[in-house]
A and B are shown apart, each in its own frame.
Chain A
Amino acid sequence: MTTEATSSPAPQTPVPGAVSAREKKNRRQDSGGVRGWFGRQNPWVRAGLMVLFAVLAFLLPYVGEIPLIGPQIVTQGIDWPSALFNMSYYVLLALGLNVVVGFAGLLDLGYVGFFAVGAYTVALLSSPDSVLRTEWGWTAAVPIGLAVAMLSGLVLGYPTLRLRGDYLAIVTLGFAEIIRIVATSTETLRGDRGFSDIPHPPGEFADGKPIFGVADAVPYYWLGLAVIILVILGVRNLDNSRVGRSWLAIREDQEAAEIMGVRTIKYKLWAFAIGAFIGGLGGVMFAGQQGFMNSQTFVLQFSILVLAGVVMGGSGNIAGAILGGALISYIPDRLRGIQDPIWHTDLFGFRFAIFGAVIIVIMIFRPQGLIPSRRRAMELKDREKEVAPIE
């Protein structure tokens, strides 16, 4: 992080000159509710609450033990720790995409591409099926996987970030499709046959059993959670730094930002590379838990789902991205194993249809997302006032 970050007085400082008197007043008025209360506490109380949240998150695998409420929460058709692990990598992806879409305002429809790059690099380096025959351990393959994912973000970003919003969307979508096509049709990446026996993360209990086995997904979930917490800390600091302020400026008005001396291409590349890095992180975690993957894993619908999660949760807000990411994984998993009353089939088949309807309803009633960033919520209020009376 740059030194300006640590010396800046208020963490939420936006672009210089952007805070008008009205906005300040709004902010004060806006401080009702849970978040306002949270903001008024002293830093120690806030930190304590954060730690409490983290501890509670680590205890989530045992939520089923709580009488009455617990059984309603846990999934039925898939074991609860596995569902939690699924949630953890979706949350990771949502956090990464939130940097690209929420912070920097770049519409990326092919985010799954970076996830795939990370996962495939690990598979290539570690699976016995790979042509490389290196058969590295998971831990050794991870840094390479992350580096390659980040590099792919830079390589994709450098020529395309000059494009305007919607064009960027189609180019990123094309990137993800190309990755999938390459994975399907080249011999090296093994198409549908995929890679099996990708090693799990290392580590043993005292009795010699591996911590990261096949049966129990709880350790994977905890690993995922630990990674998520690190990512949250990193992303939050970035957002409060010079980089974050540049992203904000680019998102609000690219031309104005450029005139004020923000090097737009540089900071867009930053956003893309960091997004790609976090996406790759999701990919390496996924590869390490599943042990198997093929080209069917990385369909385009996946990126669109994550994007829906980010915007639904509240784009530009870390808490929102976490909630959105968790929901897009939890809702379909929760529907698994439930019989519908009419046809008596598994509701899992309807999961995306139901999910689609849920997205529409949420967005209509909360177009700013479930937990919007404060700034976005205010912008929306302003926009609503600006609605042209003539329709």
Chain B
Amino acid sequence: MNFSGLIQDFGPLTITGLAQGAIIALFALGYTLVYGVLRLINFAHSEVFLLGSYACLIVWGFFGLDQNSATPSTLSVIGLLLLGLVAAIVISGITALGVELVAYRPLRKRNAPPLAFLITAIGASLFISETVGVMTQRNIKGVPPLIQPRDVFVIGNMHVTNLQILIIVLALMSMFLLDRFINRSRLGRGIRAVAQNPDSAALMGVNKGRVISLVFLLGGLMAGIAAVMYDLKIGVTRFDAGFLLGIEAFTAAVLGGIGNLRGALLGGLLLGLLQNYAASLFGTEWLHAASFVLLVLILLVRPTGLLGESLGRARA
């Protein structure tokens, strides 16, 4: 137990925790959205993220960039970042839709029991991550240093870098947009209606199939953004990156109240912070153990997560 270290590094730990939490929160939205509407754990969501994290690397590879290249000029960095984001979002979105089409839709048509969905999702997840694993020989892939972390401002010993600001701002922005979309737009109203009561929604003329596709697509878009952020922050990706971060993202979703968008944000940020504090307190290897212990403790007190589980009642 290293309390003095925790107190001394509280500032830096907080800012890295927030940046990491922002990525986890974006990732967690995919779990929460699908759960809110279908009451299913979308196990294959981790692979949606995984393909996004490779998609932007491939696009950057087209421009001859790999982990050894020099950082390009500012203007081209902005261009490359946008291109990478678009590529990751597109690929993640397509993957999410594809998973829904292959692994979920046929079962939904047959009204299969919920466990069957979980298993096809596991199958899809295994298939995608292992195919990537075979194609990359299970090696890690480096990310070109598009952004050299540079201190933007310093408070005490808390150095806030440009990358951390970018991650947090981008994450909050996409979550704000998603929140607006779900709560204000016509399509969002459809999503909330199906989440509240699928049959009544269908009777009221909501196209259930389309809403479900839309939910998967939205989750995929968010995972795509998270994937680019992850690449930039961690600097490498691997065939099992999605699986490992996926467990954390799912934990975050449950922590905040699965099916609740703001819960995912809260859970993600909280988890990111906690992991960093715990890593400093007990050592890095206990990082994940700490998050699970916290999860169990919170679920014992609040069995539906911090904010409760209600996509439908988000703004009824």
Contact = CB atoms under 8 A, between A and B. Distances in A.
A112 interface: no
A363 B303 contact: no
B71 to A, nearest CB: 36
| Chain B at the A interface: SS class | helix
A356 B113 contact: no
Interface stretch (A65-73, A135-143, A181-189): A181-189
Nearest to B107: A367
| Chain A at the B interface: SS class | helix
Contact of B116 (A178, A349, A367): A367
A300 B112 CA distance: 26
B110 A185 contact: no
Interface string A166-182: 11011101110110011
Interface in B265-316: 283, 285-286, 288-289, 292-293, 295-296, 299-300, 303-304
A221 B161 CA distance: 58
A364 interface: yes
Nearest to B125: A356
B102 A360 contact: yes
A359 B126 contact: yes
A386 B115 CA distance: 18
Interface in A153-172: 159-160, 162-164, 166-167, 169-171
A182 B289 contact: yes
Contact of A177 (B110, B208, B292): B292
Interface string B111-128: 111011011101111111
Nearest to A300: B247
B250 interface: yes
Interface stretch (A6-14, A117-125, A144-152, A303-311): A303-311
A367 B110 contact: yes
B5 interface: no
B38 to A, nearest CB: 12
B133 to A, nearest CB: 8
Q: Please classify how large the interface on chain A is, using the bins under 10, 10 to 19, 20 to 34, 35 or more.
A: 35 or more
Contacts of B119: 307-308, 311-312, 359, 363
Contacts of B131: 353
B289 A181 contact: yes
B35 A166 contact: yes
Given A307-B122, A312-B119, A355-B126, A170 B254 contact: yes
Interface of B: 35, 39, 41, 102-103, 106-107, 109-113, 115-116, 118-120, 122-128, 130-131, 133-134, 198-199, 202-203, 208-209, 243, 247, 250-251, 254, 258, 283, 285-286, 288-289, 292-293, 295-296, 299-300, 303-304
State the 10 A-B residue pairs at the shortest beta-carbon distance, nearest first. Answer: A356-B127, A359-B123, A174-B292, A356-B126, A367-B112, A353-B130, A185-B285, A360-B123, A352-B130, A367-B116
Given A315-B115, A360-B123, A391-B209, 4 more contacts: A171-B295, A363-B116, A380-B112, A384-B111
21 contacts: A159-B300, A166-B41, A169-B41, A170-B295, A181-B286, A181-B288, A181-B289, A308-B123, A351-B130, A356-B130, A358-B123, A359-B120, A359-B126, A363-B119, A364-B107, A380-B110, A380-B113, A384-B111, A388-B199, A390-B208, A391-B209
